[in-house]
C-alpha cells in the first residue's frame, strides 16, 4: 500500500532545498505551498515571472496536485493560459511519480521561450519602424508619382478652383458697378496728369541740372560758311 503522506513529506523537503528563496508553505492541512519561477534575463534584461501555487490531494502522486497561477509579472493572458495547459499535460504524463520539480522545470523553460518570443517581437517591431521610416523618406524625396488617375483628379479640382475665382472676380466687378478703365480713360479722368511734368520742373526751381556733355560746342560742328542760310550771329546768340 502506498504511503502518500510519506511521499509528500519527502518531496516537500526536497523542493524546499532546491528552491530555498522562492518556496513558501501556505498551509499544512492540506499541504499547500508556492514556488516563484523567473525566466532567464533577455538581451535587454527583461524577464517574466510567475508564482505557482500547488496543493496536495490525498492520493498524490497517483492523482495530480491542484495548481493555479498565484501571481505573475510581465505575462500576457495568453501566456498564462499556455502555462496552465502545459501543467495539465505534464501532470498527465507523470502520474504515479512525484512531479512538482518536473512541473516547475517545464514552466521555467516555457518562461524562457516567452522571453525569446518577446525579443523577436521587439526586433520585428524595430525592423517595421525602420521600414516605415525608409518608405516615408523615399516618398518625401520622390514626391507623389503622377498617374492618369491622380492627374485627372488634380485637373478637375484646379478647374473648379479657377471657375470659382473667376466667379468671385466677376461678382466683385459687378458690385463695383464700373468697368475697368483704360490708360487713356484714366488720363482723361485725371487732368492733373497733363501738368505733372510742368509741376515737377516748377518744384525743382534752379536745381534742375543739365548734362552739357550731351551737346557739342559750335566750333566742333561741321558747318559750311558758304551756305547762304548760315548766320554766325544767330549761332552766337544761341550760345548766350
Is 52 in contact with 34 (CB distance < 8 Å)? Answer: yes
- The span from the CA of 218 to the CA of 239, in Å, is 8
Domains of the chain, each with CATH number or no CATH: 4-119 (3.10.110.10)
Contacts of 8 (CB under 8 A, 6+ apart): 31, 56, 60, 98
Is 29 in contact with 12 (CB distance < 8 Å)? Answer: no
Q: What pLDDT score does 213 carry?
A: 58
Return the SS3 of 31.
Answer: strand
pLDDT digits (tens, 9 = 90+) for 136-177: 777 666 666 778 888 888 889 999 999 998 888 888 877 776
Is 111 in contact with 49 (CB distance < 8 Å)? Answer: yes
Enter the C-alpha cell of residue 120. 523577436
Return the SS3 of 181.
Answer: coil
pLDDT digits (tens, 9 = 90+) for 91-122: 999 999 999 999 999 999 999 999 888 888 77
- The span from the CA of 67 to the CA of 37, in Å, is 14
Is 239 in contact with 218 (CB distance < 8 Å)? Answer: yes
Share of the chain above pLDDT 70, in %: 69
What is residue 1's DSSP assignment? -
Enter the C-alpha cell of residue 230. 548760315
**Beta 66-73 vs 49-55: how paired, if at all?**
antiparallel
- Which tops the pLDDT comparison, 144 or 212? 144
> Measured on CA atoms in the order 144, 150, 151, 156, is the torsion positive or negative?
negative
Is 35 in contact with 51 (CB distance < 8 Å)? Answer: yes
Largest distance between two CA atoms of the chain: 165
Residue 138 has phi, psi (to 5 degrees) of: -65, -45
Q: For residue 68, what are the β-bridge partners?
A: 53
Q: For residue 49, what are the β-bridge partners?
A: 38, 73
Q: How confident is the model at residue 237 (pLDDT cuts 50, 70, 90)?
A: very low
| Dihedral of the alpha carbons of 163, 164, 168, 169, in degrees to the nearest 10 | -30
Q: How confident is the model at residue 69 (pLDDT cuts 50, 70, 90)?
A: very high
- The span from the CA of 164 to the CA of 184, in Å, is 31
- The span from the CA of 142 to the CA of 211, in Å, is 59
Of 88-92, 126-130, 179-183, least confident by mean pLDDT is: 179-183
pLDDT digits (tens, 9 = 90+) for 37-55: 999 877 677 889 999 999 9
Amino acid at each position: 500500500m502506498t504511503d502518500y503522506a510519506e511521499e509528500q513529506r519527502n518531496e516537500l523537503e526536497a523542493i524546499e532545498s532546491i528552491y530555498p528563496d522562492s518556496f513558501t508553505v501556505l498551509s499544512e492541512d492540506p499541504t499547500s505551498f508556492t514556488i516563484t519561477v523567473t525566466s532567464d534575463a533577455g538581451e535587454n534584461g527583461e524577464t517574466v515571472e510567475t508564482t505557482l501555487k500547488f496543493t496536495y490531494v490525498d492520493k498524490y502522486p497517483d492523482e495530480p496536485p491542484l495548481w493555479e497561477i498565484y501571481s505573475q509579472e510581465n505575462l500576457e493572458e495568453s501566456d498564462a493560459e499556455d502555462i496552465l495547459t502545459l501543467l495539465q499535460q505534464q501532470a498527465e504524463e507523470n502520474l504515479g511519480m512525484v512531479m512538482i520539480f518536473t512541473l516547475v522545470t517545464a514552466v521555467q523553460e516555457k518562461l524562457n521561450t516567452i522571453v525569446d518570443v518577446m525579443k523577436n517581437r521587439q526586433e520585428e517591431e524595430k525592423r517595421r519602424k525602420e521600414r516605415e521610416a525608409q518608405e516615408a523618406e523615399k516618398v518625401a524625396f520622390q514626391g507623389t508619382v503622377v498617374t492618369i488617375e491622380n492627374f485627372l483628379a488634380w485637373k478637375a479640382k484646379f478647374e473648379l478652383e479657377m471657375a470659382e475665382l473667376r466667379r468671385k472676380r466677376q461678382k466683385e466687378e459687378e458690385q463695383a458697378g464700373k468697368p475697368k478703365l483704360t490708360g487713356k480713360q484714366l488720363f482723361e479722368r485725371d487732368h492733373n496728369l497733363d501738368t505733372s511734368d510742368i509741376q515737377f520742373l516748377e518744384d525743382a526751381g534752379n536745381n534742375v541740372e543739365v548734362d552739357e556733355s550731351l551737346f557739342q560746342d559750335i566750333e566742333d560742328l561741321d558747318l559750311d560758311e558758304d551756305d547762304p542760310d548760315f548766320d554766325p550771329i544767330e549761332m552766337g546768340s544761341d550760345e548766350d
